[in-house]
Structure 1
Amino acid sequence: MASDYHRPTRFPPTMFEGYLGAEDPAHVSRVAHDTAAALLARVREDPDPDVVARLVAYTDEHGIDAIAELWSHASAKSLPGALWRVYLLRALIRQDPGGQALAFQRGAEVSHTIDQVVAGAAIPAGPDEVVELADRILHGLFTGDFAVALERAAAFARVSAAGFASLADDADAADTTHPDRSAALTTRALRLTQLADEFASCARLWRRDSLD
């Protein structure tokens, strides 16, 4: 299958249209798994810096929807599911680096774990630092220890979740007339906690050679 992917950094629009129009869930799942495995194998076998850089920045040019069409319906505990979630985390960070940096910094202050160390973010972590960290984590999937990259993503998500939960408490105390802000922050904390659990599960599966 890998021989079919001579240019792993670009997916023609017609390819995505074909995937989107597929009606057989089993076919969609198989395509997701095959493309994720082929892409990762090709790049890790020959991690050309320019190719990796283009892969990391792929959604900046093509949008997150391009990746979503291909991998977002895959199981959370699968290779395409793991790749999709790291791209999604990166997109969330880049959409609101200031808010994400604030949440991460707050999480580092209120949580009593080594997660901020595992994540590898600078302390204090400003918007530029969290954006850079997201790129380094995604870069690590293609060139480094895949499980370690997922564990870093999990650690970042856990710290950020703790931060958003703390900020939600602040919002509750500061303004009881606008509960929507607190609810939104709480929802973000819960979603990041879920992401962290999924990253950690995928890392364990990868170490057992069971992530496919």
Structure 2
Amino acid sequence: MSDPRPEARRHHRPVVRTDAFFEEMTGSDPAQVREAGELAATMLVRGVRREGDEVLIDRVVRLAETEGLEVLADIWSGSPSDSLAGTLWRLYLLTTWVKTNPHRVAEEFRAGRGTAQAAGVVSGIADPPGPEQVLAMIDEVLHGIVRGDFVDVLHRAAAFSHVVATGRAHLGHASHDETVRMLQLAEQLEAASRLEAQGALV
């Protein structure tokens, strides 16, 4: 899977403004587009927190439905791994890879599970972990972003990625860089889960 883009800047807490501000998602100012993307990430994970949030969430959902989640993901792609937007970008990468390579995913997870039993259990995949079961787990993760415990979502995604990285190393058919990238993704998601548990993922 592709490696997340370099972290070009430190993140900051998204500024929640009026509904009109969200129109900047399609604007031309890179800073405003980036900030709108951070706002969208906050809405997806945190939900309704103040008056007017319902309208913003509806806009985010409709944008994803009409233009595709990749529109939001592209905006999140430059965000650091210890930010909310950057974390959603990494979950999007993981989801895209699993849906594109279901058989390879199942093979690598199966190979890694024998040497990473604890992480394999946490990831919540049925035994044996065929392609359909792997995709089901990722779909659960995506639903968790909207309505579930985000700490648990991140912990499970990190565990899954760790098992896959272990499987890659065991099978030996992936390059060293591919294995390292998957392990880094697992570590980034696990670090994000700790930040989320502390209320520090913004």
TM-score scaled by structure 2? 0.75
Q: Which runs of 5+ in 1 are unaligned?
A: 6-10, 46-50, 172-181
Aligned to 1:131: 135
Shift of 1:29: 4.5
Aligned residues: 177
The answer on 1:94 being equivalent to 2:115 is no
Aligned to 1:194: 184
Q: Check whether the contact 1:2–1:38 (CA below 8 A) recurs between aligned residues.
A: no
Between structure 1 and structure 2, the one with the greater Rg is 1
Q: Which runs of 5+ in 2 are unaligned?
A: 1-15, 51-56
Give 2:153's aligned amino acid: A
Q: Check whether the contact 2:109–2:129 (CA below 8 A) recurs between aligned residues.
A: yes
> Cα gap change, 1:112/1:91 in structure 2, threshold over 3 Å: closer, same or farther?
closer
Alpha-carbon displacement from aligned partner over 1:54-102 (angstroms, at most 9, x marks no partner): 96xx58x745641332211111001111111111111100001011111
The answer on 1:15 being equivalent to 2:25 is yes
Distance in structure 2 (CA, Å) of the matches to 1:65 and 1:141: 16
Q: Check whether the contact 1:44–1:142 (CA below 8 A) recurs between aligned residues.
A: no
Q: Check whether the contact 1:2–1:39 (CA below 8 A) recurs between aligned residues.
A: no
Shift of 1:28: 5.1
Shift of 1:161: 0.4
Distance in structure 2 (CA, Å) of the matches to 1:66 and 1:74: 14
RMSD across aligned positions (CA):
2.9
Distance in structure 2 (CA, Å) of the matches to 1:38 and 1:142: 9
Distance in structure 1 (CA, Å) of the matches to 2:199 and 2:165: 29
The answer on 1:4 being equivalent to 2:9 is no
The answer on 1:103 being equivalent to 2:113 is no
Q: Check whether the contact 1:37–1:79 (CA below 8 A) recurs between aligned residues.
A: yes
Q: Check whether the contact 2:158–2:189 (CA below 8 A) recurs between aligned residues.
A: yes
Alignment of 1:110-121 (within 5 A): 111-121=115-125
SS of the residue 2:112 aligns to: helix
Distance in structure 2 (CA, Å) of the matches to 1:151 and 1:2: 31
Distance in structure 2 (CA, Å) of the matches to 1:196 and 1:44: 30
Alpha-carbon displacement from aligned partner over 1:97-156 (angstroms, at most 9, x marks no partner): 0111111011112x1440010000011100111011111112112211110110000000
Shift of 1:39: 3.0
> Cα gap change, 1:189/1:38 in structure 2, threshold over 3 Å: closer, same or farther?
same
Q: Check whether the contact 1:2–1:41 (CA below 8 A) recurs between aligned residues.
A: no
SS of the residue 2:125 aligns to: coil
Alignment of 1:1-212 (within 5 A): 1=16, 4=19, 15-16=25-26, 18=27, 21-24=28-31, 27=32, 29-42=34-47, 58=64, 62-63=67-68, 65-109=70-114, 111-168=115-172, 171=173, 182-183=174-175, 186-212=176-202
Deviates more, 1:36-45 or 1:200-209: 36-45
Q: Check whether the contact 1:161–1:192 (CA below 8 A) recurs between aligned residues.
A: yes
Identity of aligned residues (%): 34
